[in-house]
Amino acid sequence: MQLKQASLLVIDDDPDVLTAVKLLLKTETREVVTEKKPEQIRNLISSRHFDLILLDMNFDSSINTGNEGLYWLKRIREWDADITVVMITAYGDINLAVRSVKEGAADFIVKPWHNERLLETVSESLRRKSSAKNPGQPLSPRLSSPRELLGESEAMNEIFYRIEKVAVTEANILILGENGTGKDLIAKAIHQQSLRSGKPFVKVDIGALTESIFESELFGHKKGAFTDAGVDREGRFETATGGTLFLDEIGNISLQQQAKLLSALQNRQINRLGSNEAIPIDIRLICATNVRLEELSNEKRFRKDLIYRINTVEINVPPLRKRGDDILLLARHFARLYGEKYLKPNVFLEESALDKLMQYHYPGNVRELQYTMERAIIMAEKQGLTSEDIIFSPIETARNPDDPPVETKLSTIERNTILKVIEKNHGNITQAARELGLTRTALYRRLSKYEI
């Protein structure tokens, strides 16, 4: 269906949003109806026909679930499954918005939006609806992987979808994942699909910056600011002006460094080392870390106010062992790549090699697979690679990263043992002490020591 022929219903409790959408769409569509109260949806769709509903994710309602949009989406699907629904969401509700697509929404847009993007999303959703009714009409794929990212698994398709949605916004992104999963490629893909793509993409391994060079690298310095400062030098914030600043391994910086970074982000300005002149900054921030979010949330390790600042939207990158047949897709890709590089263009993977690749757990993730395939191509003496040609690095641990960690700290082992024995004896301290080979007094001392 063409946008010009469509009748749209817009549901949002913000009158400014309703006004903006109506002004934008009234000349582009046949009809636009706006409504503040989602409770009126059933009356509206039963009394007239709508081709598409733009539905906000959150309302000031009595449901109080924090995901009202999902509730009303389900109701709309029950009342009229033929209506196309596009969700309107804020940065922080991206996870819910992705879930809404899985539950029947055609798409979602992030506010504040660019008008062209909203029109494109609505038009595409209507076209898809029309294509579903007319199978003969060609339908372009919904997801397209960024240039350097490879994957066909459900987990990677969700990442491609998130990249597509967040790239055109100014939201700060936090990319989480193990080492070697390709967090830097995702950061580049977001930049390449953003409105800043024509400006610099500046990567900083921030975790490797010592206290002494942190400010100079990020904020720059004036001549004479310190012993080796022979000339004025701009920092990475200035270099990235108008573009994207990617701070890799941000989970490894000290609390003092975090305070300086937070100040720059809050004030949207920096001071070069040795200067009092404030320089305004205009960057889109993407951060990455291999530290799990629950560990990062420990205030003794990382400031919560900085987490909120850098984590408008988070993207969790799956480890390679959880990507199924993507392992073989990537292995064949690397085989072609290194086959050409080392003048062995006809090399291929035999069944035994494929089986061995699928059985391994890849503690080093995609990076480990890449090096494994390069080594196999270099050492190969025939075109067909077998399991004997696939040799994984002895540097990587033999333990599967999904296995529970083995506790080796003596105090932790003792504390856990005491807890288990007390639980086993249903809280009876006398019986627990006897089983542990301790006196009651000695057991009480340990309970106090370990704050049990």
Could you write out the DSSP letters of every residue in 400-449?
A: -TTSPPPP--HHHHHHHHHHHHHHHTTT-HHHHHHHHT--HHHHHHHHHH
The residue ranges of DSSP E strands in 80-139, in sequence order, are 84-89, 107-110
The average pLDDT across 186-209 equals 91
Query: What gap in Å lies between CA 244 and CA 42, rounded to an integer?
Result: 44
Average pLDDT score, the chain: 84
Domain 154-316 belongs to what architecture?
3-Layer(aba) Sandwich (3.40)
- Which of the four pLDDT bands, split at 50, 70 and 90, describes residue 428? confident
**DSSP 8-state secondary structure symbol assigned to residue 207:** G
- Asked if 281 contacts 264 with a C-beta cutoff of 8 angstroms, the reply is yes
Segment 123-147, tens digit of pLDDT: 888 887 765 555 444 433 344 455 5
The average pLDDT across 168-175 equals 88
- Which of the four pLDDT bands, split at 50, 70 and 90, describes residue 155? confident
Query: What gap in Å lies between CA 34 and CA 109, rounded to an integer?
Result: 17
Residue type present at position 11:
I
Instruction: Give the containing element (helix H, strand E) for 52.
Output: strand 52-56
Whether domain 3-133 has CATH 3.20.20.60: the reply is no
Residue 445 has pLDDT above 70, yes or no: yes
Q: Which residues contact 376 (CB under 8 A, 6 or more apart)?
A: 335, 353, 385, 389, 390, 391
Distance of CA 194 to the CA centre of its chain: 15
DSSP string, 327-380: HHHHHHHHHHHHHHHTT-TT-EE-HHHHHHHHH---TTHHHHHHHHHHHHHHH-
Residue 355 has pLDDT above 60, yes or no: yes
CATH number of 320-389: 1.10.8.60
Q: What is the pTM of this model?
A: 0.64
Would 3-133 and 410-449 be classified into the same CATH topology? Answer: no
Q: Which two tokens stand for residue 118?
A: 């909203």
Distance of CA 144 to the CA centre of its chain: 17
Segment 276-317, tens digit of pLDDT: 899 999 999 999 999 888 788 777 788 888 988 888 888 999
Residue range 410-449 forms a domain whose CATH class is mainly alpha
Segment 371-394, tens digit of pLDDT: 999 999 999 989 999 999 999 877
pLDDT of residue 249: 93
Residue 400 has pLDDT above 90, yes or no: no
- Which of the four pLDDT bands, split at 50, 70 and 90, describes residue 149? confident
What does the domain layout of the chain look like in residue ranges?
A: 3-133, 154-316, 320-389, 410-449
pLDDT of residue 9: 95
Indicate the SS3 state at residue 321.
helix
Segment 46-87, tens digit of pLDDT: 888 999 999 998 776 544 455 788 888 999 999 988 899 998
